A and B are shown apart, each in its own frame.
Chain A
Amino acid sequence: MTERKECLRCQGVCCTKIENFGVTIGSLEILRNINLHIHCGELTAIVGPNGAGKTTFIKALLGQVPHTGNLTFMKSDGSGNKPPVMGYVPQKITLDPTSPTSVADLFLASKYSSPVWLMKPKKAIADIRERLKKVNADHLMDRPLGKLSGGELQRVLLALALDPVPEILLLDEPVSGIDQNGLMLFYENVSALKESYDLTIILVSHDFDMVRKYADRVVLLNRTVIASGKPEEVLESDSFYEIFSARSLKNRDRGGEQ
């Protein structure tokens, strides 16, 4: 791969090798014969129609769904296959709006051992505030999760996925239900993270304008890899138009959502 040199400066996983990768659940083959090399310091966007297996692909990478074929995480020094630290922002997180769990509670529960129901350690709170500041969400600290807007919740979940700093960040349509401002903010945040931590970022998205602007590589997925390459290559390819022909024109007019 041409981007190989990029790997030299990252410390974590520099290349995720996906070979002959497939997922079959029950008798249903969802993904087959996927071959990809995903690099650190790059934002790889996965696009594809509904039911293409995008979420399944992410879950298989996370190890939540069993897969066939090989999945290898290579370090820059060539050593490999120790499970990397993964950060994950789920597609849709349905929260009970009446749940008395604040943003701070979520962070405390995820990362600290002192019981959330009894203690609120000052040091941890200061640390969490720092984390939230990075995604412009520190003012949400004491808000119950169920009372956050879609955009606020996504920023909080992004901050959570970055704590501890992952080697691979998986974002599954993280921006559904966010207004245009929130959308820009989110992509700016993700791009900044990519630069500062040299992360491998894999993002599932339906928003082709944003993908064109921010992604380094685009993978068009429909049960298997249909096309893969630079955003302009994939988004202007014939197969892309075939799959999205009617839909994409309509979506462009609406600003790309869904």
Chain B
Amino acid sequence: MEIWYRILEILPFEWARHGQMTFMKNALLAVILLTPVFAVLGTMIVNNNMAFFSDALGHGAFTGVVIGGLLGFGLPILSVIVFSLLFAFLIAVIKHKSKMSGDTVIGVISATAVALGIFLVTLGGKSFARLNSYLIGDILSITPEEIFLLFILLVVVLVFWLLFFNRLLLVSINPSLADSRGINTFLYEVIFSCFVAVTVAVSMPWVGLLVINSFLVLPAASARNLAGNQRQYHFIAFAISAFSGISGLILSYYIETATGATIVLILAAIFFISHCLRGRVAG
């Protein structure tokens, strides 16, 4: 971390000076590690029309926090990951087995999870307020250990993307075609869902349940308006994600607003601009 703090000292910001505002420097590093993860996973979420699914995962992760708290896990993150994975797996299997539309399945399970979470939190007349931070997210409170976790997440997601992206893309273009080329489409759908679940679970406390889905969906949705192939798509999504993350964090420091929401507003502004530019760039 010391090296990181040193590097930041070259920046012309007041908080970047030596020995000052460590929390801000930590948050900046966290944003830099998280934005590429959101960008790459987001490209496929948008390809597969999974925006509602990833939104629901946030709810599943929330219930994981509550259950982890009740069971007295030392590390709530573990129970959150486990619960999110279960949640994603459940949705994938029910969708696969039943003829119900995906939207309905997700709607039912997601609402049930949130209700269960709220029910358990308030059991015995307790207040819900202690969980507010999960709703809004607080990236300024992130610790170096937690940043290390994000680093691991980034490495794992990138390795996964390097090895398996081609097959995921083929499945998303046409499952039947992918199947005829020997790809187990259901398996890849489940694995991808699990990656999204873990990412949502790990980043929710810092980004906030209410806005996390925008982090995943908006960079890719904007990039889609401008890109003509997968390389442009990824590059633009990543650029938008990183730019919005970093500028949103710094802006929220000066105007004193919630970081997650500030970043999302910037992402949304970029989306509307890209939507207007659509068709004029690339092809």
Contact = CB atoms under 8 A, between A and B. Distances in A.
Contacts of A59: 176
B166 to A, nearest CB: 4
Contacts, number: 91
Query: Which interface class (under 10, 10 to 19, 20 to 34, 35 or more) fits B?
Result: 20 to 34
Interface string B255-283: 00000000000000000000000000001
A95 B173 contact: yes
A100 B233 contact: yes
Interface in A79-116: 86-88, 90, 93, 95-96, 98-102, 104-106, 108-110, 112-113, 115-116
* Chain B, interface SS category: helix
A145 B163 CA distance: 23
Interface stretch (B4-12, B58-66, B191-199, B223-231): B223-231
A109 B167 contact: yes
B176 A101 contact: no
A244 to B, nearest CB: 28
Contacts of A37: none
B170 interface: yes
Contacts of A157: 177
A62 interface: yes
A110 B229 contact: no
B173 A147 contact: no
B228 A142 contact: yes
Contacts of A99: 47, 173, 224
Contact of B229 (A64, A88, A144): A144
Contact of B174 (A93, A104, A116): A93
A143 interface: yes
A115 B162 contact: yes
B230 A116 contact: yes
B234 interface: yes
A62 B227 CA distance: 34
A246 interface: no
A120 interface: yes
Given A116-B166, A117-B40, A62 B231 contact: no
B169 interface: yes
B177 A100 contact: no
Interface of B: 40, 43, 47, 161-163, 165-167, 169-170, 173-174, 176-177, 179-181, 223-225, 227-234, 283
Interface of A: 59, 62, 64, 86-88, 90, 93, 95-96, 98-102, 104-106, 108-110, 112-113, 115-118, 120, 142-145, 147, 157, 160, 170
Given A105-B229, A117-B230, 7 more contacts: A93-B177, A95-B174, A100-B229, A102-B230, A106-B170, A116-B231, A143-B283
5 contacts: A88-B180, A93-B177, A109-B173, A142-B228, A144-B229
